[in-house]
Amino acid sequence: MPQLLSHVRARNHAAGSSNRIHDPEFARSLGFAGGIVPGVDVYAYLTRPAVEAWGVDWLAGGGMDARFVKPVYDGDQLTIAAEAGEGRLDIEARKEDGEVCATGVASLTPAEPPADVDSYLAGPPPAPPPPAAEAAFRARPVLGSLEVVVTEEDAARQLYEVGEPVELYRRQGIVHPGHLLRFADRILLENFSLPPWMHVSSSPRHLGLARVGEPLSVRARLVDLFERKGHRFVRLDVLILGPAGLVARVMPYTAIYQPAF
């Protein structure tokens, strides 16, 4: 397979979100060049070569190990490049100066669903959510679940925000994998009150198709807490279930919940 290339101009549609790392003025006060584009949207860019190569087969039964290694800013012109390997695609998002800002390894390797799906359900998230801290995470190793529906309006907005050119999402009413990963962000945010924070890596696996208009249940469990270079990290195991069963598993989902800055 020849190298797959696509181009996208990154857009930061989260500037007004509760996570101030996306706010341009606040992010610049920390030394960044501007508000950072959410990792879930950068992941959406990375999925394009996988869908181009494998289509619905990847959306229903593939996955990716994605890392967000450098900040992506509003207006960055990115080249998404993919090289075919042994049953895999090695994907990079590069800026115009050649800097690699995100990487992914995509494949059609089937995921292993957990044997105890029901043990992930803990009821609604706490209200109000406690401040994110090691003690708070350990006190709630099974997070409160989310019950959501991706409406046609929700789906169209997400496709617009990531500039998605692939038409099969619209034609077949399939929820974009980047949209599913947004729910991993959301379950963390609805269970814990976070300062400015950063999503740094995820390993989504698809076990079925999530459809627009169908109810989804998002569940998660704590996997690990650790510290590196002053940053405090959390790792979660996130499940997304549809009416017919499990449609996606993000294991692990990793975020800096307390940055060193």
Per-residue pLDDT of 10-31, as tens digits, reads 999 999 999 999 999 999 999 9
The fold for domain 4-258 equals Thiol Ester Dehydrase; Chain A (3.10.129)
- % of residues, the chain, pLDDT over 70: 99
The residues spanned by each domain of the chain are 4-258
Residues 6+ apart with CB under 8 A from 33: 27, 71, 73
Task: Tell me how far apart the alpha carbons of residues 203 and 105 are, in angstroms, rounded to a whole number.
Answer: 9
- Helix ranges (H only) for the chain are 24-29, 39-54, 56-61, 134-139, 152-161, 168-172, 177-191
Task: Tell me how far apart the alpha carbons of residues 66 and 93 are, in angstroms, rounded to a whole number.
Answer: 11
Q: What is the mean pLDDT of residues 216-232?
A: 98
CA distances from 36 to 11, 42, 58, 188, 253 (A): 9, 10, 28, 19, 19
* pTM exceeds 0.95: yes
Q: At 221, give phi and psi (nearest 5°).
A: -130, 150
Place of tokens 């998605």: 164
Confidence of residue 53 (pLDDT cuts 50, 70, 90): very high
